[in-house]
Amino acid sequence: MSFRASVVTLYPEMFPGPLGLSLAGKALTRGDWQLQTTHIREFGTGRHRMVDDTPSGGGAGMVLRADVLSSAIDAASPAGDSRPRLLMSPRGRPLRQAEVREWAAGPGLVLVCGRFEGVDERVIEGRNLQEVSIGDYVLSGGEMAALTLLDAVVRLLPGVMGNQESGNTESFENDLLEHPHYTRPVSWEGREIPPVLSSGDHGAIAKWRKAEAERLTRDRRPDLLNRS
């Protein structure tokens, strides 16, 4: 059974978006993974299908209503659905490659895209939503974050990448950033490809790549080295 992604959103027209192109798009066409969207507005209240209301206690902005959002989530992920339910949120746990790999090995995901000032806290508790952040910044809504997360997951599904081995040496695998890459021409604007890469000595090349990955990680992301 193929990986199944369900997105709960006020803007279903944003999907598949870039996920309909390149490797992810080809995999979607082949049926290697599935994508469904649930429009929150369809569960809105009253004549105008309202989905939000003013925050309790006062304050700026609007908040997605608990009754409306929970109904949309239930439609996308009915009882018995074992897929993780994720809420894209700037206050969530930072997205990490280890979790991406774990989700890629599972049956799929339910992604809830917030808007406005946020969602009613009771929905997070009542529908067991895991809050996930893609960075320390704020977006207009969760849709772009959901697209980013899905791209990270889908590319790891069997058959999506042409060379599955390439995913094993990328940044954040083994808590290291990826080593530098070079290709032809050998000389460009006075800059040369490191001689070791043309030596044919695979042991020396592997040693150089590991050392470079460690150097870059120390310089740019020392926090990765401290995880263990």
pLDDT digits (tens, 9 = 90+) for 74-103: 999 999 999 999 999 999 999 999 999 999
Cα 200 to Cα 47, 163, 169, 195, 212, distances in angstroms = 71, 21, 19, 10, 18
**What is the distance between the alpha carbons of residues 138 and 127, in angstroms, rounded to a whole number?**
23
Among 14, 52, 50, 53, CA closest to 35: 14
pLDDT at 180 over 60: yes
pLDDT tens-digit series, residues 125-159:
999 999 999 999 999 999 999 999 999 999 999 99
Q: What is the DSSP string of the chain?
A: --EEEEEEES-GGGSSGGGGSHHHHHHHHHTSEEEEEEEGGGG-BTTTTB-EEPPTT--SS-EE-HHHHHHHHHHHS-TT--S-EEEEEEEEEEP-HHHHHHHHTSSEEEEEE--TT-B-HHHHHHTTPEEEESSSS--SSSHHHHHHHHHHHHTTSTTTSS-GGGGGSSTTGGG-PPPP---S-SEETTEE--GGGGS--HHHHHHHHHHHHHHHHHHH-HHHHT--
Q: Would you state the pLDDT for residue 173?
A: 76
- Which residue ranges form the domains of the chain, and what is each CATH number? 3-154 (3.40.1280.10), 169-225 (1.10.1270.20)
Q: How many percent of the chain have pLDDT more than 90?
A: 92
Q: Would you state the pLDDT for residue 217?
A: 95
Is residue 142 within 8 Å of residue 113, measured between CB atoms?
Answer: yes
pLDDT tens-digit series, residues 104-117:
999 999 999 999 99
Q: How many percent of the chain have pLDDT more than 70?
A: 96
